[in-house]
């Protein structure tokens, strides 16, 4: 007997269908900004250099499929994902461009799916290359894959010194097509004088492998090394392709790289005021009373908290934007709520929409502002927004949207 399966509950689809998407708190994503950023990044590249849009982790929290399509419209020619499932999501959405899985796939099952869905795995040695050879032999379809070399990150990849030997061995495999050789930079976002020459050393190691391959007349396929920081840092790091994540989403990986090419933030985190309260001076606010009102105050509650991805470390350290004003957040950020001091903002009322992150008028709060205050990095802030928050894209027409 076949078992009836219940489709998984999809909170975002439910909220949109019920006209609730913009009721509590949500993420507005502007695909036009992604397209503009891709174009802007493309202008830094030679026409023959490819732009890979890195859309892993659900497009850094923006929504992988709409981001991939927007990036493609701006000149991205291929995509980078971390997992097999992320690659499948793009393929099932009808995206046909090359997709490189940047994470390590180790089992025959995962690699078989890659072959079936034309996803390129990254391999760090012969074990996976031979698995790919076995899977593809007799299938009549060459298995395209890329070899990763560790030039100084000590994460994925084979030792760079083994590069020429591995390329030679992979090219002996008749069912495998070596589509690229790449490496990853560990310190490209540090100012050149502050990275202890590590980026130059990684580049030198990569170049030495490529020179050896040339001498041995072994074609490496697509050669690539740079992430956003590398792409913005120097054209010398571009090779045949750059793999860009953070900059595509409109954020610069380091202050000294700001302005290399114009970028605009594609995400706004918004929430509606769910309650306004007038309280006297001396009132302790939220768990632990880490804030106490110093004057009669007007407090505004937002129905968003750390369970949505607003870091609790930002308690008493963040502001929100409303009509050209900055309003301080006060007291501990809780799981589902946070409180604003709206004493100096009489126009804020029940139902008003405030901006927690992103541009508002001439002002902007960036993931970098948040990450500095809670000692992390903008990447983690962007990827930290939970699925409880609807992601709405400018071209979504959901009831209740406005």
Ligand X SMILES: Cc1ncc(COP(=O)(O)O)c(C=O)c1O
Per-residue exposure over 169-195, b if at least 16 CB sit within 10 Å of its own CB, e if not: ebbebebbbbbbbbbbbbbbbbeeeeb
Distance set, CA 229 to CA 173, 245, 247, 298 (Å): 35, 10, 8, 43
> Which residue of the chain is nearest ligand X when measured via CB?
245
Query: Residues 351-380 vs ligand X: string with x where CB under 6 A?
Result: ------------------------------
Nearer to ligand X, 153 or 169 (CB): 153
Number of H-type helices and E-type strands within the chain: 12, 20
Tokens of 300: 């505004």
Strands of 73-119 (E only): list them: 78-81, 99-104
**244 in contact with ligand X (CB under 6 A):** yes
First to last CA, the chain: 47
Separation of alpha carbons 200 and 203, rounded Å = 5
Binding to ligand X (CB under 6 A): which residues in 52-91?
A: 54, 80
Separation of alpha carbons 77 and 281, rounded Å = 59
| Of 56, 69, 239, 249, catalytic | 56
Grouping H, G, I as helix, E, B as strand and the rest as coil, residue 275 is: strand
Kindly state the smallest distance separating residue 17's Cβ from ligand X, in Å: 33
**253 in contact with ligand X (CB under 6 A):** yes
Tokens of 293: 């009102």
CB 71 within 8 A of CB 80: no
Helix (H) or strand (E) holding 273: strand 267-279
Nearer to ligand X, 82 or 401 (CB): 82
Q: What is the DSSP code (8-state) at residue 326?
A: E
User: Half-sphere exposure of residue 376, counting CA atoms within 13 Å on the CB side?
Assistant: 16
**202 in contact with ligand X (CB under 6 A):** no
Kindly state the smallest distance separating residue 122's Cβ from ligand X, in Å: 8
Nearer to ligand X, 253 or 384 (CB): 253
Among 66, 163, 245, 384, binds ligand X (CB under 6 A): 245
Among 12, 40, 151, 227, binds ligand X (CB under 6 A): 227
Binding to ligand X (CB under 6 A): which residues in 178-197?
A: 184
Kindly state the smallest distance separating residue 86's Cβ from ligand X, in Å: 12
Q: What is the DSSP code (8-state) at residue 2?
A: P
Stretch near ligand X under the rule CB under 6 A, chosen from 13-21, 196-204, 222-230, 269-277: 222-230
Among 246, 266, 273, 320, binds ligand X (CB under 6 A): 246
Size of the site for ligand X (CB under 6 A): 12
Stretch near ligand X under the rule CB under 6 A, chosen from 113-121, 245-253, 258-266, 331-339: 245-253
Whether 69 is catalytic: no
**228 in contact with ligand X (CB under 6 A):** yes
Separation of alpha carbons 221 and 203, rounded Å = 17
**345 in contact with ligand X (CB under 6 A):** no
Nearer to ligand X, 23 or 376 (CB): 376
Among 102, 299, 310, 365, binds ligand X (CB under 6 A): 102
Whether 306 is catalytic: no
Tokens 């310190």, residue? 187
CB 250 within 8 A of CB 296: no
Nearer to ligand X, 36 or 299 (CB): 36
| Of 239, 287, 294, 386, catalytic | 287
**270 in contact with ligand X (CB under 6 A):** no
Distance set, CA 22 to CA 17, 25, 28, 65, 381 (Å): 11, 6, 9, 21, 21
> Which residues bind to ligand X, rule: CB under 6 A?
54, 80, 102, 184, 227-229, 243-246, 253
Catalytic positions are 56, 287
């Amino acid at each position: 007997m076949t078992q009836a399966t219940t489709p998984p509950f999809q909170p975002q689809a439910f909220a949109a269908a019920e006209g609730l998407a913009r009721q509590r708190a949500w993420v507005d994503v502007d695909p036009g900004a992604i397209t503009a950023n891709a174009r802007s990044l493309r202008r830094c590249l030679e026409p023959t250099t490819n732009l890979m849009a890195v859309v892993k982790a659900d497009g850094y929290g923006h929504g992988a499929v709409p981001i991939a399509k927007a990036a493609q419209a701006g000149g991205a020619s291929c995509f980078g994902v971390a997992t097999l499932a992320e690659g499948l999501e793009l393929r099932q959405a009808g995206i046909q461009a090359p997709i490189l899985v940047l994470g390590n796939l180790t089992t025959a099952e995962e690699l078989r799916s890659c072959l079936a869905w034309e996803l390129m795995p990254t391999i760090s040695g012969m074990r996976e290359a031979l698995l790919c050879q076995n899977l593809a032999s007799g299938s009549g379809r060459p298995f395209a894959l890329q070899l990763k070399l560790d030039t100084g990150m000590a994460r994925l990849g084979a030792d760079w010194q083994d590069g020429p030997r591995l390329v030679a061995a992979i090219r002996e495999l008749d069912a495998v097509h070596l589509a690229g050789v790449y490496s990853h930079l560990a310190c490209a976002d540090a100012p050149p004088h502050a990275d202890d020459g590590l980026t130059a050393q990684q580049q030198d190691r990569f170049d030495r492998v490529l020179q050896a391959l040339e001498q041995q007349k072994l074609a490496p396929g697509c050669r690539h090394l740079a992430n956003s920081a590398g792409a913005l840092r120097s054209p010398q790091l571009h090779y045949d392709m750059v793999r860009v994540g953070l900059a595509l989403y409109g954020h610069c990986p380091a202050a000294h790289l700001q302005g290399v090419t114009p970028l605009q933030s594609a995400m706004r985190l918004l929430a509606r005021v769910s309650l306004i309260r007038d309280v006297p001076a001396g009132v302790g606010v939220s768990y632990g009373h880490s804030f106490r009102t110093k004057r009669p105050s007007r407090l505004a509650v937002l129905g968003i908290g750390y369970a949505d991805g607003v870091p609790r470390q930002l308690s008493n350290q963040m502001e929100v934007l409303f009509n050209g004003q900055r309003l301080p957040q006060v007291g501990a950020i809780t799981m589902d709520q946070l409180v604003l001091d709206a004493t100096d903002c009489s126009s804020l009322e029940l139902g008003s929409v405030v901006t927690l992150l992103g541009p508002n008028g001439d002002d902007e709060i960036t993931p970098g502002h948040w990450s500095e205050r809670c000692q992390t990095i903008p990447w983690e802030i962007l990827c930290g927004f939970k699925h409880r928050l609807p992601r709405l894209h400018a071209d979504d027409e959901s009831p209740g949207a406005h």
